[in-house]
Each structure stands twice: as structure tokens, then as C-alpha cells.
Amino acid sequence: MKTMDREIRSEVLRRLESDYGLQHAKGTPWMRKGTCPSCGKRELYSRQDEPWFIRCGRESKCGEQWHVKELFEDLFDDWSKRAPATEANPNASADNYLLFARGFDLSLIKGCYSQDNYWSREINEGSATVRFALDKGGYWERLIDRPHRFGKMKARFAPGQSPKGHWWCPPCVDLLEAKELWIVEGIFDAIALLHHGIAAVSAMSSAYFPEESLKELSRQRGGKLPRLVWALDNEPGAHRYTRKHVKLASDLGYSCVAAQIPQRERKVDWNDLHQRWAFIDDAEKRADKVERDLDEARYHGALLLAESATEKGVLMYDWNERNEFHFGYSSRMYWFKMDMDKFTKAKHQLESSERQDDQLLNDRQIRDKALRQCGAVVEIANCYPTALYFQRNEVTDESWYYFRVDFPHDAPAVRNTFTGGQVAAASEFKKRLLGMAAGAMFAGTGGQLDKIMKDQLYGLKTVQTIDYVGYSKEHSCYVFGDVAVHGGLVEKANAEDYFEFKKLRLKTLQKSIRLEIARDSHGYRQEWLDWLWISFGTQGLVALAFWFGSLFAEQIRAEFQSFPFLEVTGEAGAGKTTLLNFLWKLLGRPDEEGKDPSKMTRAGLRRWMGQISGMPLVLLEADRSDNDRGPAKAYDWDELKPLFNGGTLGVTGVKTAGNETYEPPFRGTIAISQNATVTASEAILTRIIKLHFVRPEVTSASRAAVDNLNHLSTLDVSHFLLMAVKAEQAVLEVFRRQVKVHEGTLRALNQIRVERIIKNHAQLMAAVDALRLMVPITDQQHSAALAELTRMAIERQGAINADPQEVAEFWEVYEYLESISDDPMVNHSKNDLIAINLNEFCERAAEHRQKVADIATLRNLLKSSRSRTYVESNKSVDSAVRAAFNLRNQMSPRCTTVKCWIFKAK
């Protein structure tokens, strides 16, 4: 076992203790009592002196093991920094990488590799590489300095070169003497097998058939050819190529078999196996383990090349000697049942047979042939369903088994869920299978299904789920449909429809939101910022900062307890819809603007608000002047108050025997778009940052800029979303630093007195600062945006001091009417209060040709009157107006009681 670097060992031991709970057993070289990340039991152990691996001690029930470079990749991914090349040793970084990261004995490959460099113009960064020259010309090289920076490209061939038709052969392999030659995919796989006395070459890819090398070897050996063992990766694409290559090599005169490493929790290749074998100190035990793993690989290779379902079933029976079991062949499900009476009879007939072919058989061959003759193989499904994982919603206590169904014809595999009841009964399983895939039939019995599920569901991995798209605070991960970002790394959903980040397996159950996200920067149109500035100026930049800041709303609320609302108002035709549609394109949501909450049921609104996290929800509300539906259906903005701090969307009961409830938190942000100004309580107004748009003076430049924004597709600009969330830590660092600066600046202004207004506008100003990490905002644009936000903060303070326009006009008319005569005209109060009957008030206003809002609007707005504080409504008042009328007209006293709205005097 290779000696671990002292600094790395110290850090690995610290992390093993903190992350897995491993403890050093005193007096031994072992660490024990760790929690296994696979089975969750406290039987994880590792070496304390050389902690290269951690392994679960439950050999029969789990037995999983991990190399520390899988767990702590950051400690092993920058070899130029850890072992820099020098003039004396120009291969120092490459040597250390091969020695410690790959576990190789350098004496076996001395002279066949060199250290080189790769530079990416796209990201303007480089990496040292381990380079291997190829016989055909060119080279293959592996990047060894933080390769995650280059996306999926961890290795590459020389530009313009292809190794197709030729293999790479290690210098110590004598092709002329080898009796058995293993053909693997990668160079590191071939080197790994060398350490265990296996002659191996690399085909460089599962798709490449080394035809020229095989022909050359045949010429050199004069027809005395080695047996080929095709040991490509164990994955569907490589399976197809293995069968193809075996046929082509057989046509060239080679005898062929296959070897496949069984894949369980994680993908394992020959280099991984080599490092696991090196973990075993005892030479005898290590040799035994190597032999057992190679035998198992040959067995799985034989299953891959089986020419019929019967042959495969017999191979499986011969390996595990189970009398009954299910298996798949050509994407169909079969059932094997051993009939011992038939087997005994078939064996006896072969032993006493007079046929010359049968008489030449040895005992093993007689047994194999008898097994083929008596093995009852029956097709029980015209497809092959495979349980992939178990997924559970902890909150609602719902769970599902996620299956993949493969077909023998060209139809693509279908993936979907089965409930516990559907996998427990053959009839329900059959119905679900038919509903899940066209023509998928299961003809097995209940007993057969029980045994199938027992095999497939035992030790099944569990995937965590969320029921929304966007940022998951619990997992520190962004999930956008089939793309996720965790710790700055972008991952596509794997073949099983979930995301895997080391210890985290996660997927979203939300399917109703369609996202179109450009995963790479090719085709990204950076000029959109100039068009946005020309079209909407500083207000467009402020709206962009809100959309950008919304991506980090959960993190901001966790640290600063709130995130502001945005109000976008303006005249019809001012461009609000154009702006919102474009901002949604940046977040990968085409044809999105928002929804009118007054057109949704309470349950529908709550579900809609719970579908996203770290994105805005745009509430579209009709102007009150166009609202002919009556005041009862107007949306009550006060319902938004708890969402400012990420409060719950509501409480629903969970269908259980107990009294559990489900209270989903609000994870998004709120934007309000309408023509009229939002009129609400002071508590709501202080939570809002307001943008007001007027019809601009149209120029040829602005018209062209708007047209360009409208013509941009979502895929032209949605890479902005990934750029932003990948830079999560840098963005939050800038935000955290700048928000305090801007709070101090706004707090120094005498015009602003409400702390919440200061906090909200300072947060958006900090978002503008952080936005400069993503897009090239000029100093002039930046200063203008900050000045605009300062003006908006002052305006917002004025808005909460003043009445809405309709209320202000109401009191102006009130004062005019009261000034017409010495007698009271509309104020029925006989004391210091103001008492107004709204119907009578509107009648008097109309008589004197004064315009006021309709009564329904006044009833809604007057309760928040600021210049005259509202006291109560529908209060019976002894009318001063009626008393003055009676006195003026010398009428006898009559009932002067009137129902009025009561206000305090100004």
C-alpha cells in the first residue's frame, strides 16, 4: 500500500472523524464505529495509518467501500500544486498522480508517459496532464489539476487524431507470448490489470474495434492466437459493442470470451478494483479476493454473451445453484425452475447413450448438457421491469418504487413509479405495467412476483425528493428539471432520472413547470444587457437585479430574515409585459409572465406559490377602474405579509392516523405587476420596492432594442441562470458585504425614517453590486441604478406618509363641499370627529360636479386613510347636517340619525 502524504492524511483523518464518526481503536492501526453512508449502520471502518479506504463491516449485508478520493475529491485534484514539476523532475506532478490517485507501480510503466499541459481558451484556464503516446500517432492525456473546471472533459485525444483501429499496449506486455489478452476501454484500466499478472491492452473506447492491431498480431503470431477477453465497461452501450466486437474478432479467427464487473451502488472499473485489492494487507487474502472478483467478472461476461435464454438460465443456475429464479434476456423476463427428476433422468440417458458425441463428454460436460435439457425456462413478461430506487416524500408520508421497463423491440425504455400495493400483488402489478407502457404484459404468478420483488427490492437505494423546482435549502442544491447545481458544479440527471452528488441523491417531483436552460455558454448572447439598458434604462436594471437576487432569496432570508417584494406599475403600453417576458427568459421560462390571484382558488394559489423556490412569482392584478367583478373578488394584499419572511403558505392535514399537518414554507419571491398602484396597509407598502413605468419617447434605437429583446429565444440567454447559481458563494459574499454599506448610506438620509424601507432597498442595491459578477455593467450604469434605488426609497417613505390618490381626492372634495356653506354639508358629526355617509357624500359631489372614486373603491381604501385616521364604519350618528337643514328651513324636528363612517379630524 502506498504511503499517504502527511498533510493529506491529517486532513483525511479529521474529515473521517467529523463526517462519518470514525474513532481510532487504541492499540490498533484501525478506525472503527463509523456510520456507513450506504446502510446507515455503525460498522464502518478504515485504517488509521493509511486511510485510503473506508469499508462497511457488514460483509454479507452491505460490504460497500469507498476510496477517499471519491469522498474528498478536493484533496486529490490539484497535483501541480501538491507536487509541482521541477527541472530535476519534470514529471513530478504526473508521477504523484499515477502513484497516489491511481495506485500504480511506476516501474511497470516507466517511459510510456510524460507530463504535459492543456489550456482551455473557453474558460481561460489550464491544467497539467499525464500524456500517453499512441502507436498510431497522436496522444491521449488525462487532466490532473481540478478537472471539474472543464466540465465533462477530464481527458482528451490529440486534436484531429483518432485511435480507431489500434490499441494502446503497455511496454511490459509481450503480445507474442500472451496466452490470454484482455481488451479494456481505458489506459488506466489496462495498467491496473498489469499489476495482477494480466496482459491487457486499451481499445481507448468501447466503440472502437482494434481491427488493425488484431490483424497485425495475427500476422506476427502466425495463426497461434491468444484468447481474447473483452472486458469493457458494464453499461448498456458497451454491452452492445462487446457483442459486436466478439463477432468481428471471431471472424478474424480469435477465440473470445467477456468479463464484466458487476455494478452495484456506484460505477466501478478495473482501476477501482485494483485499488480495492491493494487495501488488503494479507497477500494470501488479496490473491483470493482477486481470483474471486475475476471469476465473477468472467461469469457476468458469459451471461452477456449467452446465445439463448436457456443457456443464460443454466449459467445462472450453475453459479448460484438456486432452483427457482427470474432473469432477463433480450429485454424479456424469464423464469427458471429446476426439475431434479428431469435432470436425473437426462443425466442418466447421456451417461448410457450410445451416440459417439455423448460418449466423448466428460462429467462436467454431461452435467451441463443435462441441465440444458431439463431446465424449464418460461417467459413471464414480454418486457423487463427493473426496480431502480425507492423515493419518499417525508412530509406527506407518500412513497413509490421507481422502475425502468425495457423492451426487446426498438421502443425506448419507460420509467415511472409503482406504489407499494402495486408491487405486492400480481394483478395490480400487471395493471400498472399495462398502464405505464403500451403492450407491456406480465404473466407471472403472485408467488413469482414475490420472489422477483424480494430480489430486486433488497437493499434498494433511496432517493430524496422535493416537490418544487429551484433552490432546496435542506440540500443546498439548485434543481431545474434535468439540470442541477450543487456547490458550483452542474450535473445532468442520470439515466435513472435523479441527481447524484457524492452523498446526496435528489430529484424533483414537480413536472408542471417547463424550463429551457442552455447548459453551456455556446450561443449565449451577451449583448442583451445593452438592449435592456436602451429599452428600460435604470428601471430595467433594477428589475433585473430583483430577478437575479430572487435566485438567492432563501439564503438571504436565512441570514437577513426577509427579502423585499417588487411592484411594477405603469401606463398601458409602457413595456411592462415585454420586460417581464424577457426576465423570465433569463431564468429559462419561456412564454411566462404571471397569474392573476383573484382568478385562482385559495388551494390553487397555495399550490402555485409552492411550485418554485428561489424564483419570482408574478401576481397580475387588473386595474381597479377596469374591475367589474365587484370588491369581493379583489385580491387582499395583506395576505402576502407572512411571505416577506418566508412564512408558511397555509396548513393542510396529512392523510394519516395521527394529527399531522403540512405547512409548506414560501420559498420564492413576490413581484406584482398591474397598471394601478397597489393600495394596501402600511405593513404591505413598506415591504414593497416600487417601479413605475411611463410610455417612453420611442426612438429608432429603442425600437430596435425592444425588437431584439423580443426576438431572443430562451436558449439564447438562459445560460445566465447557470452562471448565476454556479457563482452562489461569490454572489452571497458580495451581497453580505455591500448590504451593510448601503444600509448605512440610506440610514444617513433624513427623508427616510422606516427601517424596513432602508433594509429592502439596501438589499436590492447589494443585488445590483453582485450582479456585476455576471454581466458587464458599466460604472455609469451602476451609479445610475443605485441613485434610482435611493430615489425609490425616498418615494416609498413619502408613499406611506400620504394617502392613495383616490383617498386624497376624496378629502379634497370633502373640504370643498364643507367650504361652500357655513352650515355642515357632508360632515354629520357634532363633535371633533368627522362622520360621513358615503352615499350622501357621492350625491352631493355629483350635484357640485366633483369627481370622486366609486363607492366600492372608497369603502376599500378609506380604512387606510392617513390624513384623517379611520375609526369605524356603519356607526349611527345624530346628524348635524339634518339638524342644520331643519333649522334653516324652520321644519319641525324629525329623525336625524344617519349611518356614517367615522374619522378623526386632520
| pLDDT higher than 70, residue 887 | yes
pLDDT tens, residue by residue, 641-651: 899 998 888 88
How much is the pLDDT for 72? 78
pLDDT tens, residue by residue, 104-142: 999 999 889 999 999 988 888 899 999 999 988 899 999
pLDDT, mean of residues 652-679: 82
How much is the pLDDT for 79? 86
pLDDT tens, residue by residue, 469-496: 999 998 889 999 889 998 888 888 888 8
* DSSP H or E stretch at residue 689: strand 688-693
How much is the pLDDT for 893? 62
| pLDDT higher than 70, residue 562 | yes
Q: Where are the alpha helices (DSSP H) in 361-444?
A: 363-374, 420-424, 426-436
Query: 574 is written with which cell numbers?
Result: 409602457
pLDDT tens, residue by residue, 586-598: 999 988 888 888 8
Query: 878 is written with which cell numbers?
Result: 345624530
| pLDDT higher than 80, residue 375 | no
pLDDT, mean of residues 833-855: 92
Residue 762: CB atoms within 10 A of its CB come to: 25
Instruction: List Cβ neighbours of 597 (8 Å cut-off, separation of 6 or more).
Output: 605, 619, 621, 635
Q: How far apart are CA 643 and CA 645, in angstroms?
A: 5
Single-letter code of the amino acid located at 150: F
Q: Is pLDDT larger for residue 549 or for residue 394?
A: 549
Which residue reads 433569463 in cell numbers? 586
Strands across the sheet with 155-157, in order? Answer: 113-120, 125-133, 139-143, 155-157
| pLDDT higher than 90, residue 602 | no
Cβ(185)–Cβ(237) below 8 Å:
no
Single-letter code of the amino acid located at 726: K
Region for 78 from its dihedrals, namely left if φ exceeds 0, alpha if ψ lies in -120 to 50, beta otherwise: beta
Mean pLDDT of the chain: 87
Angle at 316 between CA 421 and CA 439, to 5 degrees: 45
* DSSP H or E stretch at residue 465: strand 462-466
In this structure, the chain runs to a length of 906
Cβ(139)–Cβ(132) below 8 Å:
yes
Using a 10 angstrom Cβ sphere, with 0-12 exposed, 13-18 middle and 19 or more buried, the burial of residue 28 is: exposed
172-305 has CATH 3.30.70.2610 classification: no
Strand partners, 129: 116, 143
Cβ(516)–Cβ(718) below 8 Å:
yes
pLDDT, mean of residues 821-843: 91
Using pLDDT thresholds of 50, 70 and 90, give the confidence band for residue 318.
confident
How much is the pLDDT for 451? 94
Which of 52, 13, 48 shows the shortest CA–CA distance to 29? 48
Domain assignments of the chain as residue spans, ordered by start: 6-75, 78-162, 172-305, 464-508, 528-801, 805-904
How much is the pLDDT for 627? 44
pLDDT tens, residue by residue, 681-721: 788 889 999 999 888 888 888 889 999 999 999 999 999 99
Task: Output the DSSP codes for 46-95.
Answer: EESSS--EEEES-TTTT--EEEHHHH-GGGSSBHHHHS---SS-TTHHHH
Using a 10 angstrom Cβ sphere, with 0-12 exposed, 13-18 middle and 19 or more buried, the burial of residue 237 is: exposed
How much is the pLDDT for 489? 81
Strand partners, 329: 332
| pLDDT higher than 50, residue 624 | no
Query: 614 is written with which cell numbers?
Result: 428561489
Residue 578: CB atoms within 10 A of its CB come to: 17
Q: How far apart are CA 803 and CA 792, in angstroms?
A: 17
User: Alpha carbon 407 to chain centroid distance?
Assistant: 29
Which of 721, 720, 701 shows the shortest CA–CA distance to 776? 720
Task: Output the DSSP codes for 820-883.
Answer: H-SS-SS---SSSEEEE-HHHHHHHHHHTT-----HHHHHHHGGG-TTTTEEEEEEEEE-HHHH
Q: Where are the alpha helices (DSSP H) in 162-210?
A: 187-194
pLDDT tens, residue by residue, 14-36: 888 888 888 888 888 888 888 88
CA distances from 316 to 327, 338, 374 (A): 9, 11, 14
Sign of the Cα pseudo-torsion (51, 53, 54, 60, in order): negative
How much is the pLDDT for 847? 92
Q: Classify residue 561 by its DSSP letter.
A: S
Least confident of 31-35, 145-149, 349-353: 349-353
CA distances from 7 to 105, 362, 855 (A): 22, 60, 78
